[in-house]
Amino acid sequence: MTAHSKTSALMARGCEFLGSETAILCGAMSWVSERNLVAAISNAGGFGVIACGAMTPALLDAEIAATKTLTDKPFGVNLITMHPDLFELIEVCAKRGVTHVVLAGGIPPKGSVEAIKNSGAKVICFAPTLALGKKLLRSGADALVIEGSEAGGHIGPVSTSVLAQEILPTLAADHLVFVAGGIGRGEAIAGYLEMGAAGVQLGTRFACASESVAHPAFKKAFFRASAREAVASVQVDPRLPVIPVRALKNKGTEEFTAKQVAVAKLLDAGEVDMGEAQLQIERFWAGALRRAAIDGDIESGSIMAGQSVGMVNKEEPVTEIIAALMAESEAALGGRAGAPVIAA
């Protein structure tokens, strides 16, 4: 990485932690962040992360094993904290020697962080606020990801730039903090690295990589979309805690509103408890995303995308995406790699 000496120097802590050549993680995208894309990203010097999503322990076991046949580089596994088989999934990761486990979807349940660390793996957690970030670090998290509302998929209410200003000055000097949400170019990466980030996480930019198994129709929807078309879902019933999801607006967006109403009625009737209600919502998203990403149903499926989608306009190999990001970052930092940065 001598061609990107300034960027590499700022990424050094993140690279050492991840065991990768660059501190660029791929966000876990259900159905898309599977063996092919994960291995390609790790082989290209980034850090791939398998999206476990709703997988059973047996399916995750097979996916990790298959990924290891495609790369000998480190990669991680993203586990959803509300998964009913979370501890079995952790055991699968331990058995397969996974080096990094990302816990997403809420506060990690009691004993989960300890179970992961007992296997020798590193724990990465999402921190939507400074207070929660501090709590997660005290509870044993080895690193944090702060992800802004510009991201695709499940999102929080605060923008990436605000989270970075709130959290990095306080935590970044002594802890590893990766920034995510709305990052589509290397200039943004450079800015967050200069603020103290150990690295960054991108999802939308990698969703349309040549190695991504996403359906051609799904990728074409990305190429046509602008930032304003990636909208956040609306919470219909305040009693039903639903984490907003950012996706390209289509019929699937309307169907989710109807799904919330239906689940709220089941909750009112006492036919499901709150935990089951949330799981039904998660299963809806998992199924809707599969219809779009794998089956190519971009009308009623969920085309999860971040607001950086407007910067995704062609299919590229992962190696070219990472090379471009590093060159853009280096140029922004005043290095020689890449073209000079031109002010708007």
Distance of CA 149 to the CA centre of its chain: 12
Q: Which amino acid is at 231?
A: V
3-state secondary structure at position 135: helix
Q: How far apart are CA 286 and CA 290, in angstroms?
A: 6
**Which helix (DSSP H) or strand (DSSP E) does residue 229 occupy?**
none
Task: Please enumerate in sequence order all residues whose Cβ is within 8 A of that of 170, keeping only pairs 6 or more positions apart, or say none.
Answer: 130
**Parts of the chain belonging to CATH 3.20.20.70:** 2-214+311-332
pTM for this model (two decimals)? 0.93
- The class of domain 2-214+311-332 in CATH terms is alpha beta
Each residue's pLDDT, cut to its tens digit, for the chain (344 residues) gives: 468 999 999 999 999 999 999 999 999 999 999 999 999 999 999 999 999 998 999 999 999 999 999 999 999 999 999 899 999 999 999 999 999 999 998 899 999 999 999 999 999 999 999 999 999 999 999 999 999 999 999 899 999 999 999 999 999 999 999 999 999 999 999 999 999 999 999 999 999 999 999 999 999 999 999 999 999 998 888 777 677 899 999 998 888 888 888 998 998 888 988 878 877 887 888 889 999 999 999 999 999 999 999 999 999 999 999 999 999 999 999 975 544 443 33
The CA-CA-CA angle for residues 304, 305, 309, to 5°, reads 155
Which residue do the tokens 């082989």 mark? 43
